[in-house]
């Protein structure tokens, strides 16, 4: 906790712009939506429990749903991502069971707009989760169809009057909307994360190549200077007054080579080469 607080104060608490960071963000949104829904239900629980037609069934369904949510949350936190079809299948199945069972503990007049019928509000997050957890679109479509179908099967028969039935039908489209918008957003973020990772890898490769070229140039210049001095020393007509300076330069170049072989950073440059009459700055290879 202290590390997180220090990172937040230093402005480094943001998620990394990597594929892993995108998955953490998506998982956090999924768990956050689930937590907010459960918190709202907890506040309204006394009233919802009093209006339940079967308090025992109401409690049993709620306990099972909370237990499943805790299991999924633990797996997501451990993996730092909401991935793995089995968790998506489990969450969809439990949500569908809640929606189908809901009429057995909810009065017809409480089937909409009431926390006694809490299934609709909480299972919308399952539709969004399906868009995150399933890699293939057809799995997401199947999960949304199961959720919307279960809601209609559980709520339409007990809907009292035309306005309530209209509300139930329009509510079913919310599953499609939540899944579609989540899929668009998370898919876009995943592509951005992949592009950012590819850009970082390309930049690292470019930096490594630039360092390699600098090292090649360093070696080339080092060998060029040595070859130039050796050629001058090998000339039989070398004036006697240049022998001393050239030998001094040869010693300096030898020290440079030794520093290079020993990988000593910041080795001092060799002194300027002695000029030879008729040679404009030394012999080139």
97-125: burial string, b at 16+ Cβ within 10 Å, e else: bbbbbbbebbeeebbbebbbbbbbbbbbb
130-165: burial string, b at 16+ Cβ within 10 Å, e else: bbbbbeeeebbbebbebbbebbbebbeebbeeeebb
- 2-16, 18-32, 210-224, range with the lowest pLDDT: 2-16
Taking only the tens place, the pLDDT of each residue in 97-120 is 999 999 999 988 888 888 999 999
Q: What's this model's pTM, rounded to 2 decimal places?
A: 0.70
Question: In the predicted model, is pLDDT for residue 82 greater than 90?
Answer: yes
Mean pLDDT of 252-281: 55
- 13-22, 176-185, 188-197, 270-279, range with the lowest pLDDT: 270-279
- pLDDT grade, residue 275 (50/70/90)? very low
């Amino acid at each position: 906790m202290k590390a997180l607080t220090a990172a937040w104060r230093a402005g480094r608490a943001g998620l990394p712009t990597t594929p892993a960071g995108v998955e953490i963000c998506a998982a956090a949104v999924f768990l956050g939506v689930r937590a907010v829904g459960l918190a709202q239900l907890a506040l309204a629980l006394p009233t919802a429990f009093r209006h339940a037609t079967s308090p025992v069934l109401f409690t049993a369904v709620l306990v099972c749903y909370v237990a499943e949510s805790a299991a999924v949350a633990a797996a997501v936190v451990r993996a730092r991502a909401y991935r793995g079809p089995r968790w998506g299948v489990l969450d969809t199945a439990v949500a569908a069971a809640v929606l189908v069972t809901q009429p057995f503990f909810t009065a017809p007049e409480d089937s909409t707009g009431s926390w006694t019928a809490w299934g609709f509000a909480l299972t919308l997050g399952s539709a969004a989760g399906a868009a995150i957890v399933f890699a293939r679109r057809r799995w997401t479509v199947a999960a949304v169809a199961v959720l919307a179908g279960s809601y209609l099967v559980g709520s339409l028969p007990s809907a009292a009057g035309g306005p309530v039935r209209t509300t139930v039908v329009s509510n079913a489209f919310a599953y499609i909307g939540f899944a579609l918008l989540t899929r668009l957003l998370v898919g876009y973020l995943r592509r951005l994360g992949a592009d950012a990772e590819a850009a970082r890898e390309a930049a690292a490769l470019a930096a490594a190549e630039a360092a390699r070229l600098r090292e090649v140039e360093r070696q080339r210049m080092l060998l060029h200077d040595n070859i130039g001095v050796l050629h001058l020393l090998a000339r039989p007509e070398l004036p006697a007054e240049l022998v001393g300076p050239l030998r001094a330069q040869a010693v300096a170049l030898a020290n440079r080579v030794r520093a290079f072989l020993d990988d000593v950073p910041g080795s001092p440059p060799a002194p300027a080469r002695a000029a030879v009459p008729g040679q404009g700055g030394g012999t080139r290879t």
